[in-house]
């Protein structure tokens, strides 16, 4: 059974940095593109980053471009999101998802709170 588990969310001060992880199991991770999506409290879904199966192609939403970096380790079945220069409006639950035709497998999310 396909499974994604995010971790690394915590309280961080504005301007700080954080690295989120997403552990995959139950499928051949290296075959699939992956995305990060976030959801601010009480708000809708916002796609923020995407990485190809081999890690050679990445795309970002304008809201995070230049601050966030997506990467993956296929040997470890893991996806990462390095978040720098965090802002209060980055406060959200961050989900990783398997990106196929739509996003067919989601983790439960990890919460990032940016506050002084």
Smallest distance from the beta carbon of 86 to other proteins, in angstroms?
Answer: 20
Residues that bind other proteins (CB under 8 A): 35, 37, 44-47, 50, 59-62, 95, 99-104, 106-109
Nearest to 88 by CA among 22, 31, 26, 14: 14
Smallest distance from the beta carbon of 89 to other proteins, in angstroms?
Answer: 17
Closer residue to other proteins in complex, CB, 64/83: 64
Closer residue to other proteins in complex, CB, 16/21: 21
Element (H, E) at 12: strand 11-12
Helix (H, G, I), strand (E, B) or coil at 108: coil
Smallest distance from the beta carbon of 81 to other proteins, in angstroms?
Answer: 15
DSSP structure class, residue 15: T
Query: 100 has which bridge partners?
Result: 102
């Amino acid at each position: 059974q396909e499974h994604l588990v995010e971790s690394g969310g915590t309280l961080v001060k504005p301007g700080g940095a954080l690295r989120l992880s997403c552990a995959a199991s139950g499928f051949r991770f290296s075959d699939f593109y992956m995305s990060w999506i976030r959801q601010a409290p009480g708000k809708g879904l916002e796609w923020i980053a995407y990485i190809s199966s081999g890690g050679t192609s990445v795309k970002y939403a304008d809201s995070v471009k230049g601050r966030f970096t997506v990467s993956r380790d296929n040997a470890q079945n893991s996806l990462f999101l390095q978040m720098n220069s965090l802002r209060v409006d980055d406060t959200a639950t961050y989900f990783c998802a398997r990106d196929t035709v739509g996003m067919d497998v989601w983790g439960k999310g990890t919460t990032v709170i940016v506050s002084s």
